[in-house]
Amino acid sequence: MPESGRYPPLAPFMLSLKFDVIHEQVIKGEPIEMMPSRITGFISNLSVAKKLLLIYLLDLSAVIFITTILIHEKYLAIDFSRKEIAGNHYIAAARESVFALIESADARREEHRQPVAARQDELKRVTGALVEAEERYGRGLHTGQFQHELVHAIRTIITEDEINASGEPRALHAEAITAAMQLIARIGDQSNLILDPDLDSYYTMSLVLLRFPEMVSLLLDHGERTQESMASAGARNKHSRLGLLVMEGKLAAAQKAIDSDFNAAFRNDPSGRLKERLGQSHARLISSLQRIAAQPYGTKSVETATTRFRIRQAHRDALLSVHACWKESSQELDLLLNNRIDSYFRRMWLHLGTACLLLGLILLSVFYIARRIVAPIRELATVAGAVQMTNDYSLRAKKEGNDEIGELVSCFNSMLERLNNDRITQQELVAAARASDAQRALFESIPLPLTVTSLSGHSLRHANGPALELFMPDQTAAGLESWSPFDVIAGENQRETFLSLLVEEKNIDEYELLLRLPGAPCFWSQVSVRPVSYQGEQALLTLFTPINLRKHLEEGVRNEKAFSQAALDSLPGIFFMLGSDFRILSTNRNFDRFRETTSPGSPFSSIELHFPPDQREKIRSMVQGGFRRGAAEAEVSLQGSSSREIYLLTSRLFLLGGEDCLITVGIDISARRRAEATLELWGRVFECTSESIMITDAAQRIVSVNQAFCATTGYRAEEIIGQSSLALRSDVHDGIYFRQLWRGIRKRGSWQGEFWCRHKNGEVSPQWMVVNTVHDRQGTVTNYIALFTDISAQKSQEQRIQHIAHHDALTNLPNRLLCMERLILALQQAHRNGRHVAVIFIDLDHFKNINDSLGHHVGDCVLVTAANRLSMGVRDGDTVSRLGGDEFVIILADIEDSHQIEEIMKHRLLPLMRQPYDAGGYELHCSCSIGISIFPEDGLDKDTLLRNADTAMYRAKEVGRNNYHFYTEELNSRAMQRLSIETSLRKGIERNELLLHYQPKLDLHTGKPYGLEALLRWQHPDHGMISPMEFIPIAEETGLIIPIGKQVIRNACRQLSRWSSVGMSHICLSLNVSAVQFRDRRFVEDLVQLVREEGVSPHRIELELTETMLMEDAVRTIRVMETLKDEGFLFSIDDFGTGYSSLNYLHRFPIDCLKIDRSFIRGMLERPADLAIIKAIIGLGHTLDMQVIAEGVEKEDEYRALRAAGCDGIQGYFVARPLTPEQVPEWLLAREMGGQTA
């Protein structure tokens, strides 16, 4: 081996390894040529550990990416649910505002239910809650405008309450409740609540967002309709009854919807907790609604006060049940949403933990595999190094597995063994040299070209005659020693592949090579190679067999087959050929693609395996039909593509040799099926939508309409299609409107707005129209699509709201707002025309007594009748308005002088107002007091004229009522005087100018004084002593009576303490309590506290109340009196017999004493009737176990008559005049010593 020194000892091993690899690739049919690239080179240069690390990093990236996507989706769902929670909290604030408004409205109807200050505080509280809710939850909900409107409406109610705290609730409450409902709807739309994905929370959301607001609105409307029905002909009016039946139907439908949502929510809650928590409130709500339905609205019994009270109470109970159920449902919805968020968080942490566990497992796997790979390679490198250093070919590497590395170790050990054997073989070559001549002779005898080449350099060692004739016909073997037969292999790649195979396998049989000789065409030869020993060296014996003719024949067959396959692959659909046993013989490229898999359809596998189980029966029937009939078809789904529909057509074919087969082509019709389904769906949507849809061409000719359009306009589709859209225009809009409409469509491609549509019968209706333009691919307008939504109900509602905002709900007269607008307009016209305007202020006399004694329903009837009479008593064009309560204002425009006003007053208004009222079965007489101011004499602006008319009205009341009075400067002076008294009174309270005088009371049974009545006096520094009749009414109107009352109680208790210290502890003291003071919510607390601070026993204090005070709010009065009675206070009715007390209530009040009014005492001696009344009062008082005292006794005859009648005590000038605190002990001492009466 002359060139062995060029290679290191391992070179033969590496060369042999390369040939082995090439041989294996050829066996497997894999391409030998590699496409080098930068990535391939980079990866090839990495160590095994780094390659495994790269695989781990790629797996890590994939796991992190997928985990991030899952966690992001969970966060999106969490944000979605949190926005729902924010909306639910916001709705709770809006809900509380609704019921606060309802309570405020009820309180205005029945003042005893809640004081003005209390309901104002409640409205302010809910206003603050709404503002806070908007700040906390309104961000991103776009509810600012709705919240602002609601808050503004509530604040307007608060302001109006401060002006007028009683009477019927105004339209402001209805507006505020409507604004609250709109805010709730807006919150539900913007906070994802309406899109809730879970069934249990969805139905709970439906209750909170839709059902309960609807039920509240229906209950309010039903209550209003019921009140109207009861106020009009005892609820027996046919029209009212029909309205009530409609409202009852709506309530029943709403109740059914609530019951359905509750049951659906309960069914979809597997835990049953929802039913456990909401079941009771649900049952209470249904029960309260059933009580409303069970009321006798259309019967005679509705006219009784008891039935009407029961109806109102049923409505209140239903609203309270809705409130409670709504609140509990909101809480449960909040709990459900929070549970959902917790579930999302648990799933997110589960995904994260799974990802971490998976990453750990991958890391451990890569580490373990890396060790299993690197360890044998390191062992192999160690043994190779030892062989290189020692030339000891007996060393072996340890094999640890049967993988590729194990095979490499085996080949390495085999190579070492072969090298060891080669050394032994070399010793035997000498013996074989003798046979070389015989060997040469044998080579020459072979008729095929044969060469012998060295193993190392492949240089020619011998060539027989046919080889010389083939390769070098002009040279001899002696001149070819530097030539190798492998040099004539055509193509470097072919030569490299062959040599690599030769290195790997050594023995090559019938290997086909393309050879190229200088100056001759290429030709094919079949080459066989065997390693031999030739003349003492290893050589290769190569046999060449020319096969050029055969290769040309094979090339033709391959080209024909490739052309056929290319034709099949070019088909747009799939293709496969089946044998009679249903097995695949051939397929095209689309078959695998339609199966959505990278692995091709296995040849000779059953066609049924490539289809889902539910489709195999179709395939079997189609194949059987194809073989039986010669052709068949079917529509099936390919495996892995259940959404793909394939149309298959098969035909029978006879192959050479008599074998039957089926050729089948298939077309993907999935897109067509989806398109057909989509078109069908859009067709159903087009026809079934509730909005009217019209499609026109570019020339505005109608090409299509839906059923809703036909139902709205009255046209049939065949009637309107083909006509111009101008047929729908009405005269409501002018040409300018339509020019602006089309200008907007051409500019923006769309338009929306109000459109009055003309129907086939000529009627018009308001529609909300949305127009969009359709363009083709070139941008040309092809169609216009118009959507119509009927807004007739909304327009009617807007008109109704506008009417409610400007008219009184009870009388339908203009309210204060509209009255002021008309007054301003009348003043402007009068100023331009030089005319007069009269402002007439009207107040019904003693109307409060009617309300208190007969009820508000009777008072409402009186107000409605008075409103109708006032409207009848004025001219056409004059304004009659109701400001509130029993106050009306009339505006007479275009007046010549005051005589014209007097004619209207004397001959029209006053005669009408003096007629009897038929109200609720009662015939009542209710006159009115009228004040008149005239523009411009009495004022130049509306406020001045109204104030002066009000002043004149009060003057009419002072001079006897049932009359009218013109405003004069004298009235202004009186008003200023009244203002002066108020100012001085405020200062007098601060300067302690108010004094108490005391008038004794005498016991007629013992003849001894037993008590005193405290009488308030005002010692003015400039005007002297002022009568209580002058300043008490002013104090009550301004609220000063509250601090005055506290001062009186404190001073009276202190005086009792002083008298007790001088031996007058038996004396009781009577204190007069004002109605305003008694209604104060802190009255009881302040009274008890003041008495305790001064150390006075409550049994020594008697509180005097009037009959009117007792009957204003009988239920509350009884409650307050019983509270004070438990503390020990005594009660007496002052001026008994002059008020409107009800004997039905009298025995229920904890009264200790009746005080007969002085008006009966003054005439008892001259008028027997007065004496009879006095005796009746005494008998009544004694029957009810009460003491009876007579006031204003001034004569001895009166004293004797009262004593004879059985009266218990007297008080008046006959006993003593009012005394100062210092005079009381002296008078008592003188009385005991001398028996004086005065």
> Which of 559, 530, 524, 558 shows the shortest CA–CA distance to 543?
530
pLDDT of residue 597: 45
Distance CA 846, CA 579 (A): 112
Question: What tens digit of pLDDT does each residue of 315-345 get?
Answer: 788 888 888 888 888 888 788 888 878 887 8
C-alpha distance from residue 366 to each of 60, 374, 408, 1224 (Å): 12, 12, 22, 113
Rounded CA-CA distance 462/535 in Å is 11
CB atoms within 10 A of CB 111: 18
Burial classification of residue 469, based on how many CB atoms lie within 10 Å of its CB (0-12 exposed, 13-18 middle, 19 or more buried): exposed
DSSP state of 778: T
pLDDT-derived band at 1152, boundaries 50, 70, 90: very high
Higher pLDDT residue, 906 or 394? 906
The answer to whether residue 11 scores a pLDDT higher than 70 is no
Report pLDDT for 598: 40
Residue 596: which residues within 8 A CB-CB, separation 6 or more?
638, 640, 641
Q: Are 1208 and 1004 in contact (CB under 8 A)?
A: yes
Query: What integer pLDDT is reported at residue 564 of this predicted model?
Result: 67
Residue 521: HSE in the Cβ half-sphere, 13 Å Cα cutoff: 3
Q: How far apart are CA 842 and CA 847, in angstroms?
A: 12
> Which of 232-241, 714-723, 1084-1093 is modeled with the greatest confidence?
1084-1093
Q: Give 179 or 110, the one with higher predicted confidence.
A: 179
End-to-end CA separation in angstroms for the chain: 167
Single-letter code of the amino acid located at 734 = D
Helices assigned H by DSSP within 475-607: 492-505, 548-569, 589-594
Q: Which residues contact 1206 (CB under 8 A, 6 or more apart)?
A: 1175, 1178, 1179, 1182, 1188
- The residue among 1166, 1219, 1215 whose CA lies nearest residue 1191 is 1215
Closest CA to 1149 of 1112, 1170, 1130, 1122: 1122
Confidence of residue 234 (pLDDT cuts 50, 70, 90): very low
Q: Are strands 1009-1020 and 836-844 parallel, antiparallel or unpaired?
A: unpaired
Query: Among 839, 963, 845, which residue's Cα sits nearest to residue 906?
Result: 963
> Is the backbone of residue 1235 left (phi > 0), alpha (psi -120 to 50) or beta?
left
Q: How far apart are CA 847 and CA 643, in angstroms?
A: 81
Instruction: Give the lowest-confidence range in 134-138, 278-282, 342-346, 434-438.
Output: 434-438
Measured between alpha carbons, how far is 495 from 490 in angstroms, rounded to an integer?
7
Query: Comparing 415-419, 432-436, 572-576, which segment has the lowest mean pLDDT?
Result: 432-436
Domain ranges (residues) in the chain: 72-195, 198-337, 430-546, 556-673, 689-796, 807-967, 994-1233
User: Which amino acid, 1162?
Assistant: R
- Give me Rg for the CA atoms of the chain: 57
Q: What is the 3-state secondary structure (H, E, C) of 710-744?
A: HHHHCCCHHHHCCCEHHHHCCCCCCHHHHHHHHHH
| Residues forming beta bridges with residue 527, ordered by sequence position | 511, 544
Phi-psi region of 953 (alpha: psi -120 to 50; beta: other; left: phi over 0): alpha
**pLDDT score, position 1089:** 92
Cβ neighbours for 888, distance < 8 A, ≥ 6 positions apart = 813, 841, 842, 843, 866, 867, 870, 880, 881, 882
Within 13 Å, how many C-alpha atoms sit on residue 978's CB side? 17
* Contact yes or no for 580/659 (Cβ under 8 A): yes
Closest to 995 (Cα-Cα) out of 964, 971, 1028:
1028
Instruction: Look at residue 887 and tell me whether its pLDDT is greater than 80.
Output: yes
| Least confident piece of the model among 106-120, 138-152, 717-731, 1056-1070 | 106-120
Average pLDDT over every residue of 937-964: 86
Contact (CB, 8 A) for 911 and 979: no
pLDDT confidence of residue 922: 82
Q: Is the dihedral of CA 1176, 1181, 1184, 1185 positive or negative?
A: negative
Query: Is the dihedral angle over the CA atoms 308, 310, 316, 322 positive or is it negative?
Result: negative
User: What is the pLDDT, as a whole number, of residue 202?
Assistant: 77
Q: Give the pLDDT confidence score for residue 178 in this predicted structure.
A: 86
pLDDT mean over 677-681: 75
Topology adopted by domain 72-195? Four Helix Bundle (Hemerythrin (Met), subunit A) (1.20.120)
What pTM was estimated for this model as a whole? 0.36
CATH for the 689-796 domain, from 3.30.450.20, 3.40.190.10, 3.10.310.10, 3.40.50.720 = 3.30.450.20
Q: Which residue has the higher pLDDT, 605 or 450?
A: 450
Q: Which of 187-196, 591-600, 629-638 has the lowest mean pLDDT?
A: 591-600
Task: Evaluate if residue 974 carries a pLDDT over 70.
Answer: no
Per CATH, domain 198-337 is 1.20.120: yes
Contacts of 300 (CB under 8 A, 6+ apart): 234, 236
| Lowest model confidence (mean pLDDT) among 480-484, 787-791, 994-998 | 480-484
* pLDDT of residue 1159 exceeding 90: no
**Which of 282-296, 297-311, 557-571 has the largest mean confidence?**
282-296
Mark out the alpha helices in 1095-1134 (DSSP H runs).
1107-1112, 1114-1127
Quote the pLDDT of residue 998.
93
- The CA distance from 85 to 72, in Å, is 20
CA distance 193 to 204: 10
- Banded model confidence at residue 931, pLDDT cuts 50, 70, 90: very high
Confidence of residue 1213 (pLDDT cuts 50, 70, 90): very high
Please give the pLDDT value at position 552.
73
pLDDT per residue over 695-724, tens digit each? Answer: 899 888 988 888 888 888 888 888 888 888
| 178 contacts: CB under 8 Å, gap ≥ 6 | 801
- Phi, psi torsion values for 348, nearest 5 degrees: -65, -45
- Please report which confidence band the pLDDT of residue 64 belongs to, taking 50, 70 and 90 as the band edges: confident
pLDDT band at 939 (very low <50, low <70, confident <90, very high): confident
CA-CA-CA-CA torsion sign (402, 404, 410, 414): positive
pLDDT band for 868, please (50, 70, 90 cuts): very high
Residue 538: CB atoms within 10 Å:
16
Q: Is residue 996 a contact partner of residue 1218, using CB atoms and an 8 Å limit?
A: no
pLDDT higher than threshold 60 for residue 300: no
Q: Give the DSSP H/E element, type plus range, for residue 543.
A: strand 537-546
DSSP-derived pairing of the beta strands 781-790 and 692-697: antiparallel
Whether the pLDDT of residue 14 is over 50: the answer is no
Q: Which of the four pLDDT bands, split at 50, 70 and 90, describes residue 1199?
A: very high
Pairing of strands 887-895, 917-919: unpaired
CA 102 to chain centre: 23
How many other C-beta atoms lie within 10 A of the C-beta of residue 457? 13
pLDDT-based confidence at 1063, cuts 50/70/90?
A: confident
Sign of CA dihedral 277, 280, 286, 292: negative
pLDDT (0 to 100) of residue 299? 59
What lies within 8 Å, CB to CB, of 340 at 6+ separation is 81, 198, 201
Tell me which of 3.30.420.40, 3.30.70.2610, 3.30.450.20, 3.10.20.30 is the CATH number of domain 430-546: 3.30.450.20
- State the greatest distance between any 2 C-alpha atoms of the chain, in Å, as a whole number: 187
pLDDT tens-digit readout, 1115-1129: 888 899 999 999 999
Answer yes or no: same fold for 430-546 and 807-967.
Answer: no
Q: Are 391 and 398 in contact (CB under 8 A)?
A: no
Q: How many residues does the chain have?
A: 1238
Answer yes or no: is pLDDT of 1132 > 80. Answer: yes
Confidence of residue 1238 (pLDDT cuts 50, 70, 90): very low
Which tens digit of pLDDT belongs to each residue from 351-394? 788 878 887 887 787 777 777 777 777 777 788 888 778 777 77
Residue range 523-553, pLDDT digits in tens: 788 888 888 877 767 888 888 888 877 777 7
pLDDT at 237: 55
Q: Which has more confidence, 615 or 214?
A: 214
Residue 942 identity (one-letter amino acid): K
Query: Are the C-beta atoms of residues 1132 and 1105 closer than 8 Å to each other?
Result: yes
Examine the pLDDT at 32 and tell me if it is beyond 50.
no
Question: Could you read off the pLDDT of 585-620 as tens digits, one per residue?
Answer: 778 777 776 655 444 445 556 776 677 776 777 777
The pLDDT, as a whole number, for residue 1235 is 52
pLDDT of residue 169: 52
Q: What pLDDT sits at residue 567?
A: 67
**Over residues 618-643, mean pLDDT:** 70
pLDDT confidence of residue 21: 46
User: Of 100-104, 163-167, 203-207, 645-649, which range is least confident?
Assistant: 163-167
- Tell me the three-class secondary structure of 740-763, residue by residue: HHHHHHHHHCEEEEEEEEECCCCC
Question: Distance between CA atoms of 384 and 395, rounded to whole angstroms?
Answer: 9
Which residue in 1131, 1005, 1012 sits closest to 1064, CA to CA?
1012
- What pLDDT, in 10s, does the model give residues 1001-1052? 999 998 889 899 999 998 888 888 888 888 888 888 778 889 999 999 999 9
For every residue of 6-63, DSSP letters joined together read GS-TTHHHHHHHHHHHHHHHHHHT--------HHHHHHHHS-HHHHHHHHHHHHHHHH
**What is the model's pLDDT at position 35?**
43
Which pLDDT score, from 0 to 100, does residue 1143 have? 67
* pLDDT band with cut points at 50, 70 and 90 for residue 22: very low
Look up the CATH architecture of domain 994-1233: Alpha-Beta Barrel (3.20)
pLDDT band for 867, please (50, 70, 90 cuts).
very high
Give dist(CA 678, CA 682) in Å, integer. Answer: 6
Spatial contact of 1188 and 1153, defined as CB atoms under 8 Å apart: yes
Closest CA to 646 of 627, 626, 671, 625: 671
Does the domain made of 556-673 have the CATH classification 3.30.450.20? yes
Report CA-CA distances (Å) from 902 to 292, 548, 896.
51, 140, 12
* pLDDT band with cut points at 50, 70 and 90 for residue 775: confident
CATH class belonging to 807-967: alpha beta
SS3 content of the chain, % helix, strand, coil (to 5): 60, 20, 25
Angle between helices 305-390 and 48-109 (to 10 degrees): 170
> Across all residues in the chain, what is the average pLDDT?
79
